[in-house]
Structure 1
């Protein structure tokens, strides 16, 4: 063995023992000792550093790889709103529900709310089933049956306001993290002892950090065994996920050479391929009085909403990102958001730029204030124009209809992948 080989082995050994090992540190492998102070972690003197194997899997979520895209309306602006002109932005990776929140999910929410929350809050969490009622239409059965009848379990929940949807996200975060924290506790025990909303207090601890002043669960973020908050997606996240341009991207090519009018390829709303050729790809209204076609040859097959797993998913694996029900997003509505928001993770929040005082709502010259929220995607009652991801509308955050539902999203914490 020559001397150069010995020197190589010595260098490898030194690298392993010193700098190279430090360079290999990561969130899942922080090392035994601090690279700042040299103090050993998880000792009486050292800081507690929990084991972390990456973000836990969130129930119902699909990973959405972020990147650069062009947001904005890709169709002729027939509404003449000019409120979503094309511009290039970048979105960080995130997670989104595979399907719209369904009636069975909302009934589960009501089940737990009734168990551990004030009756007043339970009543406020009930969807407005009267959204189905129409003076000149016999939709009366849906008022009584749509939410609770077992046959409608996996139809999207409707009659839910933006405020109610946010409360659902808060409850879902707490409930999922309660389970994760309990699973990760040393003795395998621990359960929620107090209420979340209004709030039935009981004594007792939690596997994570104990109970908060209102009887809820205190979760230590540093433990790494719980999830970030479930929340409504931002408008930009929703539009990006609906585009699903990852399905058109060629490997190794940084140019986005294709754009989609809808969450699928082509300019048509029918499937152009295979044995399902000619079938509609979303649940929408084809024309005046035509919600589903003729018996024996139904077009989208749904007179009202349809089950949340109906129709083919887009290239991110998301179902019904066009049609079925519109979906609430986080943003307040402003017509010039596309000009004002930043080009990295754009989001329109309350109370910043373009103040509501500029809009004459009191004089009935405008519908815009700080309590109107954007909704996207088109519904069973909308024509095909509204299925395009770039279209946008708005409604008061405390209002509800039979055409608007929602799905949840979550940040991808600690990773750019």
Structure 2
């Protein structure tokens, strides 16, 4: 019996070795000639195949390893929306900003828009600072100072609607790729656009000089930056709702090596049922910036709970197991998806995403009769904010708002596909 088992193992090993073609071409080593026609690459007759190693990680991004997960509400649906029931999906690996886009990044955007574009586009890119204004609150200083005062540089930008956030992603794609083309494909050290500063940093924040170009203009196919040459970063974009929720769960931190079962769940982007840190010297401190209760935004002087009356430094509070900061609280974040209450059952189970009303047309909702706010121009936002109670910190909660609306509680971060690999 043992000999039989040994022979079986030996045969299996031989098959495995045979299946691994040692000389098989790869993306980084395609060989000198086509494996199907035999025609040599980079000749007068053959196709141009440039050297390709690996595109650098885009500035500000961290890698999110994909996989299977259960999306949806982990707690009782206290709002009775029933619009995010649990379902199993698979999310491809992708990249996401480690922190929310901050005021200094938006000011850099405005700098280049004013320099390279029209005054009309500059004005269209301005955040709505009046989102801070309240008839019965003295928030006037935030209206004037929040966006531009140096002390708020690394606080999340707010007053930005979905359309503006989407336009920022397109601009950032072009600007980063232009910079990569100038530097020969090497990315700057220290995190690029998101190189860390201390709270209240008074540096100039001046962006590098140079005009913006569209990614299409860079794809010249003549040895410069192009998709075929592999020296263009994919588009920065808003994350899909599924990507955002998956990244916020960060269940990679609960998984045992070699164990295919997902035995742990999380209510928040951290372990446990509490919003306080249960460990170490920071035991008892809050893990996110949120509203503790009616009228309590920060706690009592001398013993503040989360320490933030409004928004907070984008690197405040511990990151989750993917290295992402403030995936709960601080500001809600726009995602790509059009809102539908039944998206959990209508969309695919591989990389689910709702881009429009397919399968659930807007005419099903009585917007003209003011019985519904749902149409193809309302977008999902996630994560909870400084003004929300703990219920909204759970990755499974979802809300929506018109894509041309803005508030003092919604910001965003960018994402990017992981092109050319499943790892």
- TM-score, normalized by the shorter chain, greater than 0.5: yes
Paired position in structure 2 for 1:394: 400
What SS does the aligned partner of 1:223 have?
coil
Paired position in structure 2 for 1:160: 160
How big is each residue's C-alpha offset from its partner over 1:8-39, in whole Å with a ceiling of 9 and x where there is no partner? xxxxxxx9xxx94542x211111111101111
Task: Establish whether residue 345 from structure 1 lines up as the match of residue 369 from structure 2.
Answer: no
Quote how far apart the aligned CAs of 1:180 are.
Answer: 1.1
Runs of 4+ residues over 2 Å off in structure 1: 19-22, 182-185, 191-197, 206-211
Quote how far apart the aligned CAs of 1:389 are.
Answer: 0.1
How big is each residue's C-alpha offset from its partner over 1:216-271, in whole Å with a ceiling of 9 and x where there is no partner? xx952111111000000000000000000000000110100000000000000000
- Please give the TM-score of this superposition, normalised by the length of structure 2: 0.87
1:4-403 → structure 2 map (5 Å cutoff): 20-23=21-24, 25-184=25-184, 209=220, 219-403=225-409
* 8 Å CA contact 2:92, 2:351 repeated in 1: yes
Aligned counterparts of 2:296 and 2:37: Cα–Cα separation in 1: 71
Aligned counterparts of 2:78 and 2:141: Cα–Cα separation in 1: 35
* 8 Å CA contact 1:22, 1:35 repeated in 2: no
Aligned counterparts of 1:325 and 1:167: Cα–Cα separation in 2: 19
CA pair 135-324 structure 1, distance change in 2 beyond 3 A: same
How big is each residue's C-alpha offset from its partner over 1:131-187, in whole Å with a ceiling of 9 and x where there is no partner? 0000000000000100000000000000000000000000000000011122228xx
* 8 Å CA contact 1:332, 1:348 repeated in 2: yes
How big is each residue's C-alpha offset from its partner over 1:190-240, in whole Å with a ceiling of 9 and x where there is no partner? x9666669xxxxxxxx876299xxxxxx95211111100000000000000
Paired position in structure 2 for 1:202: none
What SS does the aligned partner of 2:336 have?
strand
Aligned counterparts of 1:41 and 1:412: Cα–Cα separation in 2: 27
Aligned counterparts of 1:345 and 1:54: Cα–Cα separation in 2: 24
CA pair 272-396 structure 1, distance change in 2 beyond 3 A: same
Paired position in structure 2 for 1:6: none
What SS does the aligned partner of 2:63 have?
strand
Paired position in structure 2 for 1:215: none
- Please give the TM-score of this superposition, normalised by the length of structure 1: 0.88
* 8 Å CA contact 1:182, 1:208 repeated in 2: no
CA pair 370-219 structure 1, distance change in 2 beyond 3 A: farther
Aligned counterparts of 2:37 and 2:117: Cα–Cα separation in 1: 47
Structure 1 residues 320-329 or 342-351, which shifts more?
342-351
* 8 Å CA contact 2:289, 2:329 repeated in 1: yes
Quote how far apart the aligned CAs of 1:55 are.
Answer: 2.5
What SS does the aligned partner of 2:70 have?
strand
Alignment match of 2:418 (pick from 397, 409, 412)? 412
Aligned counterparts of 2:114 and 2:370: Cα–Cα separation in 1: 40
CA-atom RMSD in angstroms: 2.1
Query: For structure 2, which runs of at least 5 residues remain unmatched after alignment?
Result: 1-16, 186-208
CA pair 382-328 structure 1, distance change in 2 beyond 3 A: same
Aligned counterparts of 1:389 and 1:367: Cα–Cα separation in 2: 23
CA pair 20-390 structure 1, distance change in 2 beyond 3 A: closer
* 8 Å CA contact 2:218, 2:226 repeated in 1: no
What SS does the aligned partner of 2:335 have?
strand
Aligned counterparts of 2:332 and 2:341: Cα–Cα separation in 1: 19
What SS does the aligned partner of 2:228 have?
helix
How many residues end up aligned between the 2 structures?
Answer: 382
Paired position in structure 1 for 2:5: none
Query: For structure 1, which runs of at least 5 residues remain unmatched after alignment?
Result: 1-14, 186-190, 198-205, 212-217
Quote how far apart the aligned CAs of 1:320 are.
Answer: 0.1
Aligned counterparts of 2:265 and 2:211: Cα–Cα separation in 1: 50
Aligned counterparts of 2:305 and 2:108: Cα–Cα separation in 1: 33
What SS does the aligned partner of 1:375 have?
strand
